Every structure is written in structure tokens, then in C-alpha cells.
Amino acid sequence: MVRWQPGATERLSVAALELFEEHGYDQTTVAEIAERAGVTERTFYRHFPDKREVLFAGSGQLADRVSAAVAAEPEGARPSLLVDAALAGLAASFPDERRSYARRRQARLDAEPALRERELLKLATLKATLVEALVARGASDPAATMTAEAALSVFHVAFLRWIGEGEQRGMAELQREALGELRAALGGANPGADAGR
């Protein structure tokens, strides 16, 4: 029987981040991560398929949350409500108490090509999940892909600001700001809003 240790995923993620910061990604072994988290190497592999994955513990949950948020909108909801729902689902995965960890984690991802590669794969999976959720709600491709890309661009800009030095505002507010900027850049929404930029 596979034994799932409660809290082990979280402990392994934190231990890995610390070790990557202290010694670098390449110099850190799975055995060392497991040891610092107080579990066996076998337990590590019950939670993560490989070392690259250890900083992406929440990625499956993130995609599920986005998918569920889009699916939960009432029948006949306009596309813009589906986008709002997707963004709300994303924001829910980035509460303020995670900001400090997210900031340190992103610095490791940016520094290490193997982690950056895994991040790109996760983002591609997230996009595919969102496209699928939009199509299930009646959007047609390739328009659904365009909408998903725009929503994830908004999320990404907001996320970069959220982890920015000294930023205090939450993800939901930063996503609203970024969405407003994108609307203005695409015209039509509120023609005066971007005057003077």
C-alpha cells in the first residue's frame, strides 16, 4: 500500500526551495530534500515523479480550480463572465500568505533552465485546460485559444506585479488592473481611460 503522509508535499516543497537557494538546483539531490523534510527518498517519489516537479506541487490543483470555476458559471453566461471566473479561480490559488514563498520560488525558476522548462510545460497544460473549459461552455476554437491566451497574459502580468518588491495589493485586484490595461490597449472599452500613457 502507498502511504500518503499528510503535509509531506508542503514540507518537501519548502525543503527543496531552501536547498536550491543554499546549494543550487544541480547540487541538490532528492535524498537531501527528503532528509530535510524528514521523510524517506521513497516517500519523495510517492509525491513527485522527479526533482524538477518538486516546486510544482500545486499546478494540478490550479488547473482543476480554473476548470471548475469556468464550469460553475450559469448556463448561457457571456464569454467575459467565463474569463472573469477563470481569473477568479487563478487568484484563489495565490493568497497573500503565499506571496513570500512564490517570490523565492520564482527566483529559482528564473535561474534554472530545467525548472523554467517545467514551468513552460505547466503553463501550456494550464492553457490547454482553460481552452477545453471554454470549449465545453460553447466557445469555438481558435477563438477559445485566443481568449485563454489573453486571460493567462492578464494572470501573468498580475503575478509578476504581485511578487514585485514591496507590492501590497492582492492578486484579484492586480488582475483587475491588468485586465483594464489590456481592454484599453485593445480599444473600444473606455476610450479615454488610457489617455496620456
Q: What are the residues binding its own copies (CB under 8 A)?
A: 76, 78-84, 138-139, 142-143, 145-147, 149-150, 153-154, 156-157, 160-161, 178-179, 181-191, 194-197
Beta strand extents in 72-173 (DSSP E only): none
Q: With respect to its own copies, which residue has the nearer C-beta, 49 or 187?
A: 187
DSSP 14-56: HHHHHHHHHH-STT--HHHHHHHHTS-HHHHHHH-SSGGGGG-
Tell the smallest beta-carbon distance from residue 83 to its own copies (Å): 6
Tell the smallest beta-carbon distance from residue 84 to its own copies (Å): 7
Q: With respect to its own copies, which residue has the nearer C-beta, 84 or 112?
A: 84
Distance CA 26, CA 29 (A): 8
DSSP 63-87: HHHHHHHHHTSPTT--HHHHHHHHH
Q: Are 76 and 44 in contact (CB under 8 A)?
A: no
Q: What are phi and psi of 84, to 5 degrees?
A: -60, -40
Q: With respect to its own copies, which residue has the nearer C-beta, 33 or 82?
A: 82
Q: With respect to its own copies, which residue has the nearer C-beta, 62 or 131?
A: 131
Tell the smallest beta-carbon distance from residue 133 to its own copies (Å): 13
Tell the smallest beta-carbon distance from residue 190 to its own copies (Å): 7
